[in-house]
Amino acid sequence: MPDVGFLEEMLRIPSLSGREETLARFLVDRMEQVGMMATLDDAGNVVGIGGDPEADRTILLLGHMDTVPGRIPVRREAGRLYGRGAVDAKGPLAAFILATARITGSIKGIRVMVIGAVEEEANGRGAHYLRRSLAPPDTVIIGEPSGWEGITLGYKGLLRMMYRWESPVAHGASDHQTPAEKAVEYWDVLRRKASHVNQGRIGQFDRITPSLRGLRTESDGIHAWAEMDIVLRLPLDMPPARVKEFLVARVPDETIAFPYAEPAYRASKHTAVVRAFLRSIRASSGRPRFKLKTGTSDMNVVGPVWNCPMIAYGPGDSDLDHTPNEHIEIAEFERSVNVLENALQLLAESRILAHVENHR
């Protein structure tokens, strides 16, 4: 199947978080057409098996099928392919499938499992299911945009926080503090606390960064209340439990809840998978570079539990994630497929060499 044509077909199938079934069945069909074994697991994840299915070493290519909302007309224009998910993260998932299809039946030594997970953009439900149900693979490659020359080693942690303050309604001319004022006051306190924690920390990856995502005020005529949605991005040395300790309610009418959290994760760069990608990128005349991301991915979910060699890789500029201008450079997408194919071949060869050395 034509490389970019396959991705374009994927982009034309809407797959918002929780509504990935149509795309999932399309991918099962396409994987089977190119010689891979494919099915859906109990969470709705697409699971494809390629490479050497009988090998005793498993490399997991973990991407995700879902996208954030926002319709972007799918089109090719000036060497670019536009569409929701082109970068985050149908582009990387398509590259995974294409590269695996190329090597299936022609290499020995590695079993390649390609998974398109559900609900990565919401709560990571697909990855949480895999974390519980799969034995730790030998190596994991997460499908997220890094640019075809980039190798991502880590992601910041995440803490989602819900704030609410309620009080009896007071006359507008009184000096009674309104719920909106109380919420803004709490937000200011939180920002000052974060600023204090960040003293002496230079890079964004090492800083705690709060973001106010929503502020709502309502009244039923008797009571009035304010609610805030807050997201905090966390560094490696600040797990969610530690951050929760200084985000306590200050007065009885304040309530704070934490609906979702994931710790930061950073993988080692001294692994076979990193070496394979360095060689593969250079073989395509690229200049490899390591990256640390200030967002989160399914690496945060599976990394601390599986604790195996891991990177994130995929075509696309992550600055275009979730934007109305989301697109991918077609040439970059095609280069990334070549890099992935070559890296998988190198990993298979390294496995065979290691096997020979162990039996001398």
Residue owning tokens 């190329």: 102
Q: How many CB atoms lie within 10 A of CB 20?
A: 27
Quote the pLDDT of residue 5: 96
Phi, psi of 271 (to 5 degrees): -135, 165
Q: Are strands 111-117 and 289-293 parallel, antiparallel or unpaired?
A: unpaired
Whether omega for the bond prior to residue 89 falls within 30 degrees of 0, making it cis, is yes
Quote the pLDDT of residue 352: 47
Q: Which of 120, 144, 262, 332 is catalytic?
A: 120
Q: Which domains does the chain have, with CATH numbers?
A: 3-155+265-358 (3.40.630.10), 157-262 (3.30.70.360)
Quote the pLDDT of residue 168: 82
Q: Which residues is 59 bridged to in the sheet?
A: 112, 139
Q: 38-41 long-range CB contacts below 8 Å, 24 or more apart? A: 41/129, 41/133
Q: Which of 52, 66, 88, 321 is catalytic?
A: 66
- The Cα 289–Cα 286 span in angstroms is 9
Q: What is the DSSP string of 83-142?
A: STTTTTTHHHHHHHHHHHHHHTTT--S-EEEEEEES-TTTT-HHHHHHHHHSPPPSEEEE
Q: How far is CA 126 from the centre of its chain?
A: 12
Over the chain (360 residues), what is each successive 10-residue block's mean pLDDT?
88 97 98 96 98 93 98 97 97 98 92 98 96 96 98 97 87 72 91 94 95 94 92 96 84 85 96 97 97 96 96 97 97 98 93 42
- The Cα 210–Cα 281 span in angstroms is 35
Answer whether 129's CB lies under 8 Å from 75's CB: no
Quote the pLDDT of residue 356: 38
Quote the pLDDT of residue 171: 56
What is the value of pTM for the model shown?
0.92
Quote the pLDDT of residue 178: 87
**Residue 349 a catalytic site member:** no
**Residue 66 a catalytic site member:** yes
> Residues near 280 by Cβ (< 8 Å), separated by ≥ 6?
339, 340, 342, 343, 346
Q: Which residues is 225 bridged to in the sheet?
A: 166, 218
Q: How many residues does the chain have?
A: 360
Could you report how far apart the first and last alpha carbons of the chain are, in Å?
A: 42
